[in-house]
Structure 1
Amino acid sequence: MRKFIIITLAIAFSTLNSFARKPNIIFILADDLGYNELGCFGQKWIKTPHIDRLAKEGIKFTQHYSGQAVCAPCRCVLMTGKHTGHAYIRDNGDPKDGSTKHFPFPGQNPIPDDEITIAEILKTGGYTTAAIGKWGLGHFGSSGDPNKQGFDLFFGYNCQRHAHNHFPRFLWRNNKKIPLPGNDRKLDGKIHSQDAFTEEALSFIKKNKENPFFLYLPFAIPHLSIQTTKKWLNEYKKMIPEEEYTHRGYLKHPFPRAGYAAMITQMDDSVGQVHSLVKGLGLDDDTLIVFTSDNGPTFNRLGGSDSDFFKSAGVFKGLKGSLYEGGIRVPTIVRWPGKIKPGTTSDHVSAFWDWMPTLSEIAGTKAPEVTDGISLLPSLLGKKQKSHKSLYWEFPSYGSQQAVRLGNWKGVRQKISKAKTTAEIKTELYNLKLDPGETKNVADLNPEILEKIESIMVKEHVPSKLFPILPEERLRARKKKINKSN
């Protein structure tokens, strides 16, 4: 009922605020792309000319944050506009409560029926919607089925583990399995998923060129395994010095660094194809394109990716799975001809939960009041922008973590799971203006700032049965599990 009321209000608001031509919205989400892995953000080895062009013709956000340090929760934050202290999905993981027991397919915890997604809001404004790529918020038939969460079309991977293979034997189009014949080999195959996503995206744009559309492109690159086509691999094989990958985890690639760089350039080419078609159809001035990443880069040499060699996180500390800057600060670009001044840079502090109100306002619809976000439209248009009082994250894995951004200050809690009580947890404090690499903990020198940050951690955290994080919550969850088994 609540969902019905919110969507009805959004429809009424859209009716009152309709435009002659609502802009098309293309939201491109890279997978595990580091802050420093694009040419326009400082990368020296990897070629990204098409994405660099978006930055040259649009605005670059240098202090934009993901919703989380790993895949599924960041997508939940993006879709619902709620930070991880409020979001339903706060970590990766498969259902443990039987919520998908009637649907015998692998997949992550589904977002519930009553969640309002950005796709549902945009549909109230007359948008045709598509999600093409990696979903990770519930398989078809579950409550998180993208077709039940506002998307007219879904094509890609429902399950994130399925997306670890870029030459899959099948993908999903809505609730139908689409075979990809010829994908029998591990490092190579006939149809790369990135090429399949690009083809599907181009088809969707052509079919919907007469009406406003929302095209969500959560690509699976450059998430491991390292798999690309010979065309892109050959660009780097002789250019990048190699070091053999001898560790376990994912596929072993004979040219791991070249392969990793090639995947990013392959994705860049897809971005170029989408942009070229938009221009070719005369939709350029009516199309907003957003490019960003779901979290920081993959851990050092896992799968051969080698974040140290590429300096994937730039000057920042931490990688994927960490709430330090390297795990959650992500490269972000927005292009909108005639609205955004070309070649601009913004240091406005923002996050994934801002996209719900931003895209809602752009589309002339009304975002749910429960969102944690603030519309970024003023920043896009070069106007005065309202700022967040603070940003908050929590992550129940990798030792359990919490983080707060308060002005130039950043508070981080690590290894929460080792504490027996909340009172035992230590909070680190960094001044990002003076120390963007989070190298000097100044908590002891700034007790008042530390107290403010810890009070925000208390205020913004709403306990989750699925994802307990504080010691007392974990203890209650363990006791409940024991009682249930008895």
Structure 2
Amino acid sequence: MLPKKLLLICSLVVFGDIAFARNKPNILWITIEDTSPKFIGCYGNKDARTPAIDQLAKEGVRFTNAFSTGTVCSPSRTALITGVKTYETGTGNHRSNYALPAGMHGFPHYLQQAGYHTSNNAKTDYNVLNEKQFIADAWNESSGKAGWWNRKPGQPFFSVFNYNDSHQSRTMTDAYPKYVKNVLDELPENERISENAFEMPPIYRDSPEMRKQVARVYNSLKLTDNKIAKLLKRLDDDHLRDSTIIFFFGDHGEGIPRGKTNGIDLGYRVPFVIWFPPMYKHLSPWGEGGVVTDELIDFADLAPTLISLAGGEIPAYMKGRKLTGPGRSPQTDHLVLSSDRSDNGIDMVRSVTDGRYMYSRNFMPFMPEARYIRYMEISEMKQQMRKDLAEKKLDNLQSSLFADRPAEFLFDLKNDPWETKNLINDPKAKAVAEKMRKQLSASLLKSRDVMFLPEYEIALISGKGNAYEYRLSDQNYPMKEIFAAAALSGTRGKAIAAQQVKLLTNTNKIVRYWAALGLRSQNATVLKPFGKEIIAGMGDEYQPVSITCAAIGYEVFKNETAAANLNKSVNSDNAELALMSINYLLYVADKDPFIETIRKVQKAENRFSDESKSRNYKVKAACMDFLGSLGLVPNNPDFAE
């Protein structure tokens, strides 16, 4: 028999949980797109005009260390909706449409089981196979008309509203007249932010042409803030504010160059506020209105948190923290984040942050931060940056965006918020760098990061099963061996190159792939002694290896067979292999032997019948980037494909 005191404590816990379950809060989730905290008033930007967001923060809890788990919309939303990191589900590549396990649902499914009406207005973009079925399973309604107003009387609700006015299309990609129509003309003249009314970020040249572009960010956010104010007024008018917990956040970091698609703080960090009504103030472990917390959170934490708030049962596959409510999880001292392919621009970055420092490991550093991504290349802003680069008007920092990356970045965000000084070789930062390297390696090995497979392989796996379960078998996926090879990629020098050359004959095809990819990041002088081995690698039976070796064989050794092989792989009937090939060719000096093949592939219609829309788009977009880089097609929104 339990002692009376312990029995009383147990009873209080049980009755407390019952009372919590019976008094379920409504939950309103407001998301905006492509936004860094640097451009919002409550985060210290005195030039911003975001009063609705600022008021939520003034009355709520503002997070200074909230991070997306990806740097572009669809992978970020996969993590949000599943509560699982994309490097576990294999969904890190933007618009990839790969399979999830049968038992993995969108988290609103579990809120429905707890009695909630779930509505989504209206963005989905979940980056999974059979998305329509996935959406139907998660939401009672998902449309531009969805909202709390369609629930049963007295039923608790979870309602999501997504505002896309701050999306990259408005802030840089749309032609300027379209921006004027969709943003400026929607703002009263006295609410518009002029081109000289803000401090210019140091990562961009301070010129009238660039100010014209950055002003788009401020005005797009002002329009977004106005729409948020209208939504909150409707909540008030429906007399629901006193029973609704409000979450506000961005879907990933800033949309203009060097933010979105890049695995650094500007790509990951998001504005994040939770507002608690007096009825539920006891659910805030941070205190009441106007609180600022530096607690580390990322998007994998949100699904378990909301299921907990709803009184539902959290599935075992969700490993994120419960931020509030019964059984709040202990805080963490670091987060692991990821960035992979965006549209046609392949990449792989893994990062660790403790809030102050951001450490990023670039596994494909032969491509610059401002790499070719068609959706950016068609923008006036990116074209102006390339023009300024060609005319030598950029300073060392600004021009570095177009150069090869180092294997590692380390930024001190407290003293260098715009990430202008890489401290990776600074003796004073050695201890921080070493600590974060170890944290990253331990996390990737534990999670068995499946994105170390080339996308070609993930697509094949998804045709038969799913990457999430595939990665759990060491027979399928010898993670330690693969990671050891991948860990060499980006580290430059003859000794490392010799190790990579040796791995080109490994019995594991993925190890050989990482050996070849690592060699692609070496400079020509280092590679010269290894010509025989690299040319031999062009005959590898695993195509990601043979294509990568051919790219090196052509660029470094001027091998004619390599050029022929690359022309063949560009024209492959496999979209992932074609995209890999074109991305390699975007960064070679002499593109002439490939122009006609690229033209042919770009003009072909619907070459890839399986998931044809996304696969055709990314290959054709890469072709357009190739041709655009040579001035053979215009770089403007009318020639996006």
User: Does TM, scored on the shorter chain, surpass 0.5?
Assistant: yes
Q: What 5-or-longer segments of structure 1 have no aligned partner?
A: 1-14, 96-108, 157-199, 244-251, 301-317, 420-424
Alignment partner, residue 165 of structure 1:
none
Pairing partner for 2:306 from 359, 362, 382: 359
Sort the Cα spacing of 1:335 and 1:148 in 2 relative to 1 into closer, same or farther, 3 A: same
Alpha carbons of 1:22 and 1:88: their partners in 2 closer, same or farther (altered >3 Å)?
Answer: farther
Residues 359 and 414 (structure 1), Cα distance of their counterparts in 2 relative to 1, 3 Å cut = same
Q: How big is the shift at 1:295?
A: 1.2
Does residue 455 (structure 1) correspond to residue 442 (structure 2)? The answer is yes
User: Residue 289 of structure 2 aligns with which residue?
Assistant: 342
1:330 to 270, 276, 290: 270
Q: Report the Cα distance in structure 1 between the residues aligned to 2:212 and 2:191, rounded to whole angstroms.
A: 9
Q: CA deviation at 1:404?
A: 1.7
Contact 1:110 1:145 in 2 (8 A): no
Q: Which residue of 1 aligns with 2:85?
A: 83
Return the offset for 1:213: 0.9
Report the AA paired with residue 221 of structure 1: D
Of 187, 190, 198 in structure 2, the residue corresponding to residue 232 of structure 1 is 187
| Aligned residues between the structures | 381
Question: What does residue 4 of structure 2 align with?
Answer: none
C-alpha distance in 1, partners of 2:249/2:186?
A: 25
Q: Deviations over 1:227-268 (max 9, x none)?
A: 22624163455744499xxxxxxxx99975555433322221
Structure 2: segments with no counterpart, 5+ residues: 1-16, 171-178, 199-208, 368-405, 459-482, 490-509, 515-541, 548-568, 578-641
Q: Which one is further off, 322-331 or 467-476?
A: 467-476
Deviation of the 1:408 alpha carbon: 5.3
How far apart are the structure 2 equivalents of 1:120 and 1:462? 26
Q: Which amino acid aligns with 2:337?
A: W
Q: Shift of residue 428 of structure 1? A: 3.7
What is aligned with 1:265? 222
SS in 2 for 1:135: coil
1:84-119 deviations in Å (ceiling 9; x for gaps): 321342121354xxxxxxxxxxxxx57665422211
What is aligned with 2:57?
Answer: 55
Matching of residue 137 in structure 1 with residue 126 in structure 2? yes
SS of residue paired to 1:295: coil
- Could you tell me whether the CA contact under 8 Å between 2:52 and 2:229 is conserved in 1? yes
Q: CA deviation at 1:434?
A: 6.0
| Greater relative contact order, per chain length (Cα 8 Å cut-off, separation 6+) | 1
Provide the C-alpha distance between the structure 2 equivalents of 1:460 and 1:51, rounded to a whole number of angstroms: 36
1:152-190, CA deviations, whole angstroms, 9 ceiling, x for partnerless residues? 11115xxxxxxxxxxxxxxxxxxxxxxxxxxxxxxxxxx
Distance change (3 Å), C-alpha of 1:255 and 1:431: closer
Change beyond 3 A, Cα 1:37–1:232: same
2:148 corresponding residue in structure 1? 205
Q: Which amino acid aligns with 2:249?
A: T
SS in 2 for 1:36: helix
The residue number in structure 2 matching 1:405 is 353
Query: What SS is found at the alignment partner of 1:416?
Result: coil
Q: Distance in 2 between matches of 1:114 and 1:480?
A: 37
Taking the TM superposition and a 5 Å limit, the aligned residue runs for 1:146-165 are 147-156=135-144
- CA deviation after TM superposition for structure 1 residue 72, in Å: 0.4
Calculate the aligned-residue CA RMSD, in Å.
3.8
Counterpart in the other structure of 2:336: 392
Match of 2:555 in 1: none
Residue 357 to residue 395, structure 1, CA distance change in 2 (3 Å): same
1:478 to 521, 526, 544: 544
- Relative to structure 1, the CA distance from residue 395 to residue 260 in structure 2 (aligned partners, 3 Å threshold; closer, same or farther) is closer
- Judging by fraction of residues, say which structure has more helix: 2
For residues 448 and 274 of structure 1, the distance between their equivalents in structure 2, rounded to whole angstroms, comes to: 47
Distance 1:480 1:285, change over 3 A: farther
Give the aligned residue type for 1:153: E
Cα deviation 1:437-486 (Å, max 9, x = unaligned):
55242466237423343333333342145747957475667269989979
Counterparts of 1:8-407 in structure 2 under 5 Å? 19-95=21-97, 113-137=102-126, 142-145=130-133, 147-156=135-144, 200=145, 204-208=147-151, 210-223=154-167, 224-225=169-170, 226=179, 227-228=182-183, 230-232=185-187, 234-237=189-192, 239-241=194-196, 259-300=216-257, 318-338=258-278, 339=281, 340=284, 341-377=288-324, 386-388=330-332, 390-397=334-341, 399-405=347-353
CA contact (8 A) 2:119 2:140 kept: yes
Residue aligned with 1:288, SS: strand
Q: Is the 8 A contact 1:354 1:375 kept in 2?
A: yes
Identity of aligned residues (%): 22
Alpha-carbon distance, 1:282 to partner: 2.2
Question: Higher strand fraction: Structure 1 or Structure 2?
Answer: 1
Tell me the SS of whatever aligns to 1:19: helix
Aligned runs of 1:434-445 on 2, under 5 Å? 438=419, 439-442=421-424, 445=430
Q: Distance in 2 between matches of 1:348 and 1:430?
A: 19
Q: Structure 2 CA distance, aligned partners of 1:30 and 1:452?
A: 31
For the residue of structure 1 that corresponds to 2:87, the secondary structure is coil
AA at the equivalent of 1:38: I
Instruction: Give, in whole Å, the separation in 2 of the partners of 1:231 and 1:409.
Output: 39
Q: How much has 1:151 moved relative to structure 2?
A: 0.7
Compared CA separation, residues 466 and 233, structure 1 to 2 (3 A): farther
Contact 1:112 1:143 in 2 (8 A): no
Alpha-carbon separation, structure 2, partners of 1:229 and 1:274: 20
